[in-house]
Amino acid sequence: MNEMIEKPKIIFMGTPEFAVPTLLALHEKFGLSAVVTVPDKPQGRGKKILPSPVKLKAVELGIPVLQPESLKDEDFIKN
């Protein structure tokens, strides 16, 4: 049989640095459709707006990033 096996569509949800190795492993093994992480926010003494470690890695890998204010946001849920 010559059936095409479709890869699963995976959306990764994470934010901190310790989530990055899991993101990488899933991306290498399956590919990721998108990444969901918190919105960029002020950090450090200068309160500079910075992205999460997961967002930085997703952008580097070319994975679409979603940053809803709330996971309960109706617009986010519909998409």
pLDDT (tens digit, 9 = 90+) per residue, 18-66?
999 999 999 999 999 999 999 999 988 889 999 999 999 999 999 999 9
The length of the chain is 79
CA dist 10 to 28, 31, 36, 50, 65, Å? 12, 7, 11, 25, 13
68: Cβ contacts below 8 Å, ≥ 6 apart: 36, 39, 75, 76
Q: Is 24 within the bounds of a domain?
A: yes
Query: How many independent structural domains does the chain possess?
Result: 1
Q: Which domain holds residue 46?
A: 11-72
- CA-based radius of gyration for the chain: 15
Distance CA 61, CA 10 (A): 15
**pTM confidence score:** 0.84
Amino acid at 11: I
Q: Is 4 within the bounds of a domain?
A: no
